[in-house]
């Protein structure tokens, strides 16, 4: 069985892995030198993670902070660069620590080469979190 390495297929596989709380599987979708950027990160939160190891460290506690239930809206747009997609999506679930709702809209610009994510710019609004003290493993508490 061959795995589809097209950017949209890789991205959709990643969403399924996040819903399954399979962070190691999601990390496996990353190139060793992949870059994850958060252009709207508030002070004290990481703005740029360089390399799969840094992304893994940041994401290691994700399921302990956010219980992701669904991506009820995912729209993937192909760009003129065949390896790059723009994704509009919404993630819903709950914040584990408070039990409060998690409902965040995202726009992501993602580049995939040879089936691996090489660059991911995540334009999400951190003010949308009900509990601003909720951070991932790699960010300050």
For residue 100, what are the domain limits?
7-128
33 falls within a domain = yes
pLDDT in the model for residue 137: 44
Residue 135 lies in a domain: no
What is the C-alpha to C-alpha distance for residues 70 and 14, in angstroms, rounded to an integer? Answer: 13
Give how many domains the chain has, as a whole number: 1
Output the pLDDT for position 125.
Answer: 77
Q: Which two tokens stand for residue 132?
A: 């601003």
Q: Is residue 138 part of a domain?
A: no
Q: Is residue 134 part of a domain?
A: no
Q: Are strands 84-95 and 101-113 parallel, antiparallel or unpaired?
A: antiparallel
CB 117 within 8 A of CB 123: no
Q: The pTM is what?
A: 0.87
Does residue 136 sit within a domain?
no
Q: Is residue 42 part of a domain?
A: yes
Q: Which of 69, 62, 65, 59 is nearest to 90 (CA)?
A: 69
On whether residue 66 sits in a domain, the answer given is: yes
Give the pLDDT score at 2.
64
Under 8 Å CB-to-CB from 24, ≥6 apart: which residues? 56
Q: Which two tokens stand for residue 76?
A: 């993937």
CB-based burial of residue 126 (10 Å sphere; 0-12 exposed, 13-18 middle, 19+ buried)?
middle
Residue 90: inside a domain, yes or no? yes
Segment-wise mean pLDDT, segments of 10 residues, the chain, 141 residues: 87 97 97 96 91 96 92 97 97 92 93 98 76 44 33
Give residue 129's pLDDT. Answer: 59
- Closest by CA position to 72, among listed 132, 21, 15: 15
CATH number of the domain encompassing residue 120? 3.10.450.50
Beta-ladder partners of 86: 77, 109
Written as six digits, the tokens of 69 are 């239930």
């Amino acid at each position: 069985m061959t795995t589809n390495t097209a950017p949209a297929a890789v991205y959709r596989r990643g969403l399924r892995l996040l819903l399954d709380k399979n962070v190691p599987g999601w990390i496996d979708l990353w190139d060793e030198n992949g870059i994850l950027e958060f252009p709207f990160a508030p002070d004290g939160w990481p703005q740029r993670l360089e390399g799969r190891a840094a992304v893994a460290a940041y994401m290691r506690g994700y399921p302990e902070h956010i219980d992701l239930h669904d991506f009820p809206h995912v729209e993937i747009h192909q760009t003129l660069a065949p390896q790059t997609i723009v994704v509009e999506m919404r993630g819903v679930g709950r914040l584990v620590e408070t039990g409060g709702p998690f409902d965040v809209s995202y726009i992501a610009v993602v580049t995939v080469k040879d089936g691996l994510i090489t660059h991911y710019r995540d334009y999400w609004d951190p003010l949308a979190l009900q509990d601003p003290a909720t951070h991932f493993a790699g960010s300050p508490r």
